[in-house]
C-alpha cells in the first residue's frame, strides 16, 4: 500500500463512499472506484472542464466511465463535485428508482453522459463524442473564435479491452486522428475470475501504438505522474492518447486489495473498519465526509465561471457570425429546421407522383439525397458497404479527408459503428445514421439495444432484408432479425414496400427524437403502389388500408416490404373470385400498436378473424395480429443459396400461397 495513502483525503473520500455504498446495498463493485480514485481526483479537480450547476453546458468536457461496473466512482465524483446527487442518493445505491443505479444510466442523474455496463461500449461511445466534437468544431469554429473546443476523457478496464468492440472503435479513432480523446486504462490485472494474465496477455501498449494512438505509462497512484501524463496527452493534438495506469484494485483495503475479492462484492464491515484505519480516516460513521473535503471538491463556482466565459465567447461569435450561431444553437437543441415538414412532405408527394419501381435501398438513397441538403446535422456512414447500402449521396464528404465532413467510412466494424453513433447522438449537434446488411445487425445488436435504452435518435439503414437477396445464401439472408428489432422496447422498425413508404420512414425516423429507428430495405426492385392523399397520410400511423374490400369484408391480408406486392396480387385474384378482402400494409408495427383503439379497429376490425400475414421473415411475430386461427406465410427455417425468385417459390412465399391461405379461412 502506498505510504502516502493517509495523505490523500480527497481521493479517500471516493474510496469511503464507494465501499460504504456497496456495503449498504450488499451489492456492487468497490474495487475499481478505490483503485482509480487517485486518477479520478487529478482529472476531475485539475483538468475536467464542466459545470455541476449545468450538466448540459454545450462546451463541457465529456467524461465516460467505460468500466461501468465501478459506477460508485462516477456517483462519488458527481456528489462531491456538487452535482444534483445527494448523499441520500448515494445511500440509495442500486435501489428501485434510485439515481444511482447499478451501472451508470444516462438520464437518471445529471452528469452521466452515457449508459455504461456492457463492457467496451463506453470507450466506443467516447470515440463518438470525440468524433462529434472534432467535426462540429470544423463546421463552426472560426479563426478568431473556436466556439467548440472540449475534450473527451474515458476510464476503461481490462474487460473493455478484451471486448472486441474496443478494437473496432479504437482502431478507427486512431485512423481519424481524434486528438482530443484521452483514455485512462485501469491496468490492475484483476477481473472477476482472478488474475487476468491467464486469459489476457496482450501487449496493450503496442496494440494502441499500432492503432496510431499516443501511449503513456504511469503509476496510477502517483498523482504527479498522472498530472504530467495528462498534460502530455492534451499536448498531442493529432492522435488520441491512452494513459496506461498501473493500479491496485481496491486500494485501501488491507486484506482484499489487489485481489478479485474486492472486484464485485462488498468488503464486509470488519474490512471496511480496517480500511478506514489504513486511510487515516477518523470518522467511523458510514458515508461521513468532512466539510473541508466537500469544499475542496466543490466545482460549482469554477464551473459557473467557465460557462460564463464561454457564454461571453458565444455572444461575440453570435455578433460576428449570426447565421452560424443560430444554426449551431438549433442543432445543439436537437430541433429540425423549421421547414423540414414541408420539404419532407413535398418529397413524399413527388415520390407518389413519380411512381418508380425500384429497390427500397435505392429509394432510401434518393430520400437521403432529397432531405440531407436541408439537414447539415446528418452524419452518416456505412460498415464498408456504401455501394450496397446506397448511403452515399452527392453531398457526402468523408470525415477522413474533410474535417467538416458528413460521412464516415466505418470499415467492417458494425458493432463499433453503432456504438460510436450512439456517442455522436449523445454529444449533440448531429443526427447519425449507420448502415450494413440486415444480417450483420447481429454484430451490432447490443449497441442498437443501448440506443433504445438511452432514447437516442440513431437511424440504422439495414439493406438486403430477406431471402430476396438471393445467391449469397443463408449466412447473409436474415430471417429472425426483423422480429428481434420489433421486440426491442423503445425502438421503431420500418420495412417499407416502395418509394413512398421509404420516404415516410425517413421522415418519421428523423422526427423521432427519443428513440432509434431501423429502416429495413430491399435489394430487389419493389413495385410502386398507388395511393390517395389520405392513405399517404396514414403511413405515418404504422399501418393502414392499402387496398379495400369489394362488398362485405371477409378477410384481411397484412404485409410488409417486398411482400406487399404479393398481397396486392392476391387481392386482385381474390376480388375477382368474389372474396371481400382488404390489404393492410404495416411498415411499422410498433407505431401502429400505439394508435388509438378506434383507428386500429378501423384497419383491423376485430370481427374479422380470417387474417393472413405475409412476410419473408420468421412467422412467430405475426400471431399478435392474426391470432392463433389466422395463417402466416413466412419463414420457419434458414434460407438457401439461389436466385431470389427461386427462393420465394421454394419457401412458399408466393401470391398463390396467400390466395390459398385466405380461401382456406373464408
Helix or strand (DSSP H, E) at 216: strand 214-219
541 within 8 A of 566, measured Cβ to Cβ: no
Whether residues 553 and 473 fall in one domain = no
Whether residues 552 and 408 fall in one domain = no
Mean pLDDT of 629-638: 97
The residue among 478, 473, 392, 410 whose CA lies nearest residue 447 is 410
Any domain includes 313: no
Grid look-up 491496485 returns 248
279 within 8 A of 38, measured Cβ to Cβ: no
Mean pLDDT of 176-180: 98
Mean of per-residue pLDDT scores for the chain: 97
Mean pLDDT of 69-97: 98
Any domain includes 275: yes
Under the banding of pLDDT at 50, 70 and 90, the label for residue 3 is low
Domain CATH code at residue 49: 3.40.50.970
Question: pLDDT tens, 245-283?
Answer: 999 999 999 999 999 999 999 999 999 999 999 999 999
Whether residues 167 and 276 fall in one domain = yes
Q: In angstroms, rounded to a whole number, what is the distance separating the alpha carbons of residues 398 and 408?
A: 6
270 within 8 A of 261, measured Cβ to Cβ: no
Whether residues 151 and 284 fall in one domain = yes
Whether residue 2 has pLDDT greater than 70: no
Whether residues 291 and 344 fall in one domain = no
Q: In angstroms, rounded to a whole number, what is the distance separating the alpha carbons of residues 17 and 89?
A: 11
Strand ranges in 443-580 using DSSP code E only, listed in sequence order: 459-463, 492-494, 517-520, 525-526, 544-547, 555-559
* Number of structural domains found in the chain: 3
Whether residues 409 and 283 fall in one domain = no
Q: Which domain holds residue 295?
A: 5-303
Domain end point (choices 258, 282, 303): 303
Whether residues 486 and 571 fall in one domain = no
Domain CATH code at residue 652: 3.40.50.920
pLDDT, residue 1, reads: 45
Domain end point (choices 485, 520, 555): 520
Whether residues 91 and 196 fall in one domain = yes
Q: Summarize the annotated binding site as residue ranges.
A: 29, 69, 117-119, 158-159, 188, 190, 263, 361, 388, 440, 464, 472, 476, 523
Any domain includes 311: no
Whether residue 336 has pLDDT greater than 70: yes
Domain end point (choices 256, 276, 303): 303
Any domain includes 165: yes
Question: pLDDT tens, 346-405?
Answer: 999 999 999 999 999 999 999 999 999 999 999 999 999 999 999 999 999 999 999 999
Any domain includes 536: no
Q: Summarize the annotated binding site for substrate as residue ranges.
A: 29, 263, 361, 388, 464, 472, 476, 523
555-559 and 581-585 strand pairing: parallel
Whether residues 475 and 362 fall in one domain = yes
Burial state string for 249-285 with b = 16 or more CB within 10 A and e = fewer than 16? bbbbbeebbbbbbbbbbbbeeebbebbbebbebeeee
Q: Summarize the annotated binding site for Mg(2+) as residue ranges.
A: 158, 188, 190
Any domain includes 356: yes
Mean pLDDT of 58-79: 98
pLDDT, residue 4, reads: 82
Which of 163, 260, 271, 414 is catalytic? The answer is 414
Q: In what order do the strands lie in the sheet with 62-65?
A: 62-65, 152-157, 181-187, 241-246, 214-219
Whether residues 278 and 358 fall in one domain = no
Any domain includes 326: no
Question: pLDDT tens, 408-460?
Answer: 999 999 999 999 999 999 999 999 999 999 999 999 999 999 999 999 999 99
Any domain includes 316: no
414 counts as catalytic: yes
The SS3 assignment for 530 reads coil
Q: In angstroms, rounded to a whole number, what is the distance separating the alpha carbons of residues 494 and 554?
A: 28
545 within 8 A of 535, measured Cβ to Cβ: yes
Q: Based on the number of CB atoms within 10 Å of its own CB, is 89 exposed (0-12), middle (13-18) or buried (19 or more)?
A: buried
Whether residues 169 and 84 fall in one domain = yes
pLDDT, residue 585, reads: 98
Whether residues 486 and 436 fall in one domain = yes
Kindly give the residue spans of alpha helices, DSSP state H, lying in 268-406. Answer: 269-279, 291-297, 300-320, 322-333, 340-354, 360-371, 386-389
Amino acid at each position: 500500500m502506498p505510504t502516502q495513502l493517509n495523505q490523500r483525503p480527497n481521493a479517500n473520500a471516493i474510496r469511503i463512499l464507494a465501499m460504504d455504498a456497496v456495503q449498504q446495498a450488499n451489492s456492487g463493485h468497490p474495487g475499481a472506484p478505490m483503485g482509480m480514485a487517485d486518477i479520478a481526483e487529478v482529472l476531475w479537480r485539475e483538468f475536467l472542464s464542466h459545470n455541476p450547476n449545468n450538466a448540459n453546458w454545450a462546451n463541457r468536457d465529456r467524461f465516460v466511465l467505460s468500466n461501468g461496473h465501478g459506477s460508485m466512482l462516477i456517483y462519488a465524483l458527481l456528489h462531491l463535485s456538487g452535482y444534483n446527487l445527494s448523499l441520500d442518493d448515494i445511500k440509495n445505491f442500486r435501489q428501485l428508482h434510485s439515481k444511482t443505479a447499478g451501472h451508470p444510466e444516462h438520464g437518471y442523474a445529471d452528469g452521466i453522459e452515457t449508459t455504461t455496463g456492457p463492457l467496451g461500449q463506453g470507450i466506443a461511445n467516447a470515440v463518438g463524442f470525440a468524433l462529434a466534437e472534432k467535426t462540429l468544431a470544423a463546421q463552426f469554429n472560426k479563426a478568431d473564435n473556436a466556439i467548440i473546443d472540449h475534450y473527451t476523457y474515458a476510464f476503461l478496464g481490462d474487460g473493455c479491452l478484451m471486448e472486441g468492440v474496443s478494437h473496432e472503435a479504437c482502431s478507427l479513432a486512431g485512423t481519424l486522428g481524434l486528438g482530443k480523446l484521452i483514455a485512462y486504462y485501469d491496468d490492475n490485472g484483476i477481473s472477476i475470475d482472478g488474475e487476468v494474465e491467464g486469459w489476457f496477455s496482450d501487449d496493450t501498449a503496442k496494440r494502441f501504438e499500432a492503432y496510431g494512438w499516443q501511449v503513456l505509462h504511469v503509476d496510477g497512484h502517483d498523482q504527479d505522474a498522472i498530472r504530467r501524463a495528462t498534460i502530455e496527452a492534451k499536448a498531442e493534438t493529432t492522435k488520441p492518447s491512452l494513459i496506461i495506469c498501473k493500479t491496485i484494485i481496491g486500494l485501501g483495503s488491507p486484506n482484499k486489495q489487489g485481489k478479485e475479492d474486492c472486484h464485485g462484492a462488498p468488503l464486509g464491515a470488519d474490512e471496511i473498519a480496517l480500511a478506514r484505519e489504513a486511510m487515516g480516516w477518523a470518522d467511523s460513521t458510514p458515508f461521513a465526509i468532512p466539510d473541508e473535503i466537500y469544499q475542496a471538491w466543490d466545482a460549482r463556482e469554477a464551473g459557473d465561471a467557465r460557462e460564463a466565459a464561454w457564454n461571453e465567447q458565444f455572444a461575440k461569435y453570435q455578433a460576428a457570425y449570426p447565421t452560424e450561431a443560430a444554426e449551431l444553437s438549433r442543432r445543439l437543441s436537437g430541433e429540425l429546421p423549421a421547414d423540414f415538414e414541408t420539404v419532407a412532405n413535398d418529397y413524399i408527394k413527388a415520390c407518389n407522383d413519380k411512381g418508380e419501381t425500384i429497390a427500397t435501398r435505392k429509394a432510401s438513397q434518393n430520400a437521403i439525397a432529397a432531405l440531407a441538403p436541408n439537414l447539415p446535422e446528418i452524419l452518416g456512414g456505412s460498415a464498408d458497404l456504401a455501394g450496397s447500402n446506397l448511403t452515399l449521396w452527392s453531398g457526402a464528404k468523408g470525415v477522413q479527408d474533410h474535417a467538416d465532413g458528413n460521412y464516415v467510412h466505418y470499415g467492417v466494424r458494425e458493432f463499433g459503428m453503432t456504438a460510436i453513433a450512439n456517442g455522436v447522438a449523445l454529444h449533440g449537434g448531429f443526427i447519425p445514421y449507420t448502415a450494413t446488411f440486415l444480417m450483420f445487425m447481429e454484430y451490432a445488436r447490443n449497441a442498437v439495444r443501448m440506443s433504445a435504452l438511452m432514447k437516442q435518435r440513431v437511424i440504422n439503414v439495414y439493406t438486403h432484408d430477406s431471402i430476396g437477396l438471393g445467391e449469397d445464401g443463408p449466412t447473409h439472408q436474415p430471417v429472425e432479425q426483423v422480429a428481434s428489432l420489433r421486440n426491442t422496447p423503445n425502438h421503431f422498425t420500418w420495412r417499407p414496400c416502395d418509394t413512398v413508404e421509404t420516404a415516410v420512414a425517413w421522415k418519421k425516423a428523423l422526427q423521432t427524437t427519443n428513440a432509434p429507428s431501423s429502416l429495413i430495405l430491399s435489394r430487389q426492385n419493389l413495385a410502386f403502389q398507388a395511393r390517395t392523399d389520405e392513405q399517404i397520410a396514414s403511413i405515418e400511423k404504422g399501418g393502414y388500408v392499402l387496398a379495400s374490400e369489394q362488398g362485405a369484408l371477409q378477410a384481411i391480408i397484412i404485409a410488409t416490404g417486398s411482400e406487399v406486392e404479393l398481397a396486392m396480387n392476391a387481392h386482385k385474384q381474390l376480388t375477382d373470385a368474389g372474396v371481400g378482402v382488404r390489404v393492410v400494409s404495416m411498415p411499422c408495427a410498433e407505431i401502429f400498436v400505439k394508435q388509438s383503439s378506434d383507428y386500429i379497429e378501423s384497419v383491423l376490425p376485430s370481427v374479422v378473424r380470417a387474417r393472413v400475414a405475409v412476410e419473408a421473415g420468421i412467422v412467430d411475430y405475426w400471431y399478435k395480429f392474426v391470432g392463433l386461427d389466422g395463417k402466416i406465410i413466412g419463414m420457419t427455417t434458414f434460407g438457401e443459396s439461389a436466385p431470389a425468385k427461386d427462393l420465394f417459390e421454394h419457401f412458399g412465399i408466393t401470391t398463390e400461397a396467400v390466395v390459398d391461405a385466405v380461401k382456406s379461412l373464408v
